[in-house]
A and B are shown apart, each in its own frame.
Chain A
Amino acid sequence: MTRKGRRLAFIGCAGAVLAIAAGLVLNALNDTIVFFSGPTQIVQQPPAAGTRLRLGGLVENGSVRREGPEVHFAVEDGTSRVPVVYAGLLPDLFREGQGVVAEGAMEPDGTFRAASVLAKHDESYMPREVAEALKEQGTWKGNP
């Protein structure tokens, strides 16, 4: 093979790998990204059951109860509420009346089955999505 031929072969290989990677990325961006929505959005435009999404809002006061391996609570934003069921341990910073983000999908019966639950990291931190969603709903009580 000539020097030029070799170089072309390498460029061809590199192009092929890059093309495959680009294909994988585009495909994955179609399938795997997860959109964020608040309770009001979910109540107004219920997403298809099984679509993965992130639900953010405040944990409704008095809504948390554990039944065996599952824990039930509701996420609200002052206007609407969505019941959530989660089979797992709640994070350390999970508290009633405070911000939370749950990732999972809607069940046909209108409850949200969470695969993971994230709570804020410290007393001054509210998940950004939650804060903005609350501001939109006009129920934000913290700093502007």
Chain B
Amino acid sequence: MKRRELLKMIVAATGTAFVGSNVLAYTVIPMVDSKDSGFSKDEIAFFNEVGESIIPRTDTPGAKDADVGSMIAILLADCYTPVQRKAFKDGIMSLKAKAKSQYTKGFLLLTPEQRLLLLSSLDEEANMYNKKMALAETQDSENGTAVPHYFSMIKQLVLFSFFSSELGATKVLRYVAIPGSYDGDFPYKKGDKAWAT
């Protein structure tokens, strides 16, 4: 049976004699515009540039293609605590200052190689810091009272925003909306992509 017919049949099979009115179930939460996040277009563009160094476009889309910058702004604005948000903002300032002091120019003027070098050193610094503070990078920093190194927050936000995006989930990872069956002994060869969920 085709799915569409099936859906029709399912709907036809129900329907109820009701008294009383109907209101919305499964509250639909409206999408949020990054304009309402309190972060400027330039800041969002900057997040995208940093994101692109972490998840670059290769033969598949990268962070900028998925506009991780907007998602990061929205998550920071709505899902993070003021303490975490401040730590993130301070971190971005610190990142910018590092670019200036090491290369005497702004981050956005650096070559991709320079950016990678700079951010890689920050990544190592973050790993050491977190180890010292016993903060796992995968820890959900939203709920923690301790704030991890700011670059860990950046990296977490980029990865989450990217792989939860449609491009990340469907073009970089694999995703099938309606698998229709289950195979627990499915062949895998090196290079095959992971399932998005």
Physical interaction between A and B? no
Binding site for A on B (CB under 8 A): none
